[in-house]
Amino acid sequence: MISIERSAGPTAEGSPVDLALARLFHAAGAVTVSTPILQRAEPYLDTAGEDLRRRIFLTRGEAGETLCLRPDFTIPVCLAHIAGGEGLPRRYAYHGLVFRQHRDGAAEFRQAGIESLGDDDRAAADARTLADALAGLGACGIAETAPLEIVLGDQALFEAFLGALALPAGWQRRLVRTFGRDDLLDAALNALAREGEASSARLPPEIRALVEAGSVKALADHVAGLMEEGGLPPHRGRTPREIAVRLFEKVELAETRMTPASLARLRRFLALDCPLAEAPGALAALEADTGVDLGPALAFFRQRNDALAAAGVDLGRLRYRAAFGRAIDYYTGLVFEARRPGAAEPLAGGGRYDRLVGYLGAARPIPAVGFSLWLDRISAVAGETA
């Protein structure tokens, strides 16, 4: 059961941190959502990305459905909104446990945060989300003067840069999937730098001929025949058309080579690391030097910086890194994290995920952005600095 609690404001119950967060969420106009710990696993397996997928606690329901212990709140909150049929825009707050496997250490953590759905002023919504995340750290005892690394990335800018390089769609999707994972991104770029491999030559002759002919339908029909000969039911795994499309994409990926000049431009973009206030100028200079037009993505970046300043965020505390992303696949634009200098794990993090709510079943696309606070980590840091 998913419930939406329409609280008039914070009560006298709970710890000082709980009360401070309740006041913050109430002042932000966020409605509190309570979601089950046991969740359907498919939304996570389909959208969260490999890093989170491998850390999920999976189990089976009585009807054979795949379930999991709640590994984050974003997806359950979005599902709660869809189930409730609420109007937009709307902000939802949450506070509870999430569960993620680790090789050592705790596997359950306390999180709190806000998800903002349906605000069409994306720059203002991004700014408000980041401002509320920083205010949340303050409510939990992290002083504004405490040393923090606050880094911001922008997947939309990365996608705009890739689009300007005119890479094949398959390569753009592959590179976007690696955004924020330096080792995977570097491996993909190294593969792009190599001479194209004649991968179609390694396929069976009849499949190679169909790939070279360029007909997805003909290849899908051939795959369907092979599946029928092998006794595979048509509903088992990928459809013949999906298999055919994937084969075409793999050949395209293997046979594409990025020119040294284009690769150098992309690596120069990814190396950009500067104070956020300086980032629009640095990106404009990169455009001028490389001939890559970032278009509306850069205009929005400037607009969001203005919105952050209007929301009271000190841009001098934030750093922009062009290669920075978060290892969750549903992000589409802004991503950010705040952590102690040199720490491996963030105290707060979030970002924009405009495609997720529609994917989960909303009747139309819904712009969305949110943040989470890792309360156990914050408590430990606040205790050290008290």
The binding site for L-histidine comprises 72-74, 100, 111, 115, 326, 330-331
Backbone φ, ψ for residue 26 (5° rounding): -65, -45
Token pair 């491998």 is found at: 54
The whole-angstrom separation of Cα 72 and Cα 199 is 39
User: Which positions make up the binding site?
Assistant: 72-74, 100, 111, 115, 326, 330-331
Distance CA(113)–CA(91), nearest Å, equals 10
- At position 258, the amino acid (one-letter code) is M
- Cα 209–Cα 215–Cα 221 angle in degrees, nearest 5: 85
Strands 90-99 and 30-34: what pairing? parallel
Helices (H), 140-239: 155-164, 169-177, 182-193, 205-213, 216-229
Give the end-to-end CA distance of the chain in Å, rounded to a whole number.
39
Q: Beta partners for 67?
A: 40, 59
Amino acid code (one letter) for 67:
L
Separation of alpha carbons 381 and 377, rounded Å: 6
